[in-house]
Each structure stands twice: as structure tokens, then as C-alpha cells.
Amino acid sequence: MISYEDFKKVEIKAGKILSAEKVPDTDKLLRLSVDFAENREVTGEDGVVVAKPHVRQIISGISAYFPDPQLLVGKTCMFVTNLEPRVIRGLESQGMILAAKTDTGFSLLEPNDSIHPGATAS
């Protein structure tokens, strides 16, 4: 059991999957590129600071449920976004996709169409 105060620390956001591909030499892993409608300030060669879209890489063990990873592209799903980055098979994962699994099924946590990337769970 965790306290309510600990649970409040978990940041859950909607993210749109921009690309999905199998991680070579693995059976379970997919590499997802996910848009959370975040921007990062970047300084150009001319010294001008601009906001550029930041896309996060998520490494997830869901390949068995998506033999064709392209089926994930365009889906908006819910992710935990404030986990410490973790290196999995040499690739940095910057979050975790949320899903439910039983003996007979698997489902990603997908919000309805009115929820856009960057929206937070409350």
C-alpha cells in the first residue's frame, strides 16, 4: 500500500503515439515516440532561444499484443511521465504506458477523443 500523498506524486498524461517499432533482437519490446505537447527551449546557432516540440521515447514490453506495431501509430494513450528515465537494452525510456491485462485480454488505457496530448489525469 502507498499513501495518498505518494499517489499524488504520480504524473499521468495523455500522449499521442507518433511512431512504433520493434526493438531489434528482443521478443517483447517496442520503441514508441510519443508527443505529450511539451516544448523545450533550444538555443540556435544565432543565439536565439526558441521552443521546439519535445517527443519522448518510451520502451515498452507490449510487442506480443501488437504484432504490427504500426497499429499503435496515431493512438492517444495514458502514460506515467514522471518516472526516472530507465535504460532498457541500451535505449532510454522516458515514461511508461498504462495498460490492463488478464488471462484472456489486453487493453491500453485510451481516453476518449476529446482528450488531447498533454492532458493530465486528476
CATH domain 4-108 topology: OB fold (Dihydrolipoamide Acetyltransferase, E2P) (2.40.50)
Measured over the CA atoms of residue 67, residue 59, residue 80 and residue 114, the dihedral's sign is negative
Question: According to the model, what pLDDT value does residue 40 have?
Answer: 80
pTM assigned to the model: 0.88
* Average pLDDT, consecutive stretches of 10 residues, N- to C-terminus, the chain (122 residues): 94 97 96 92 82 90 96 97 96 97 94 94 83
Question: According to the model, what pLDDT value does residue 91 have?
Answer: 97
Name the residue ranges covered by the structural domains of the chain: 4-108
Contact 118, 14 (CB under 8 A): yes
Question: According to the model, what pLDDT value does residue 111 have?
Answer: 96
Burial 78-101 (b: 16+ CB within 10 A, else e): bbebeeeeeebeeeebbbbbebee
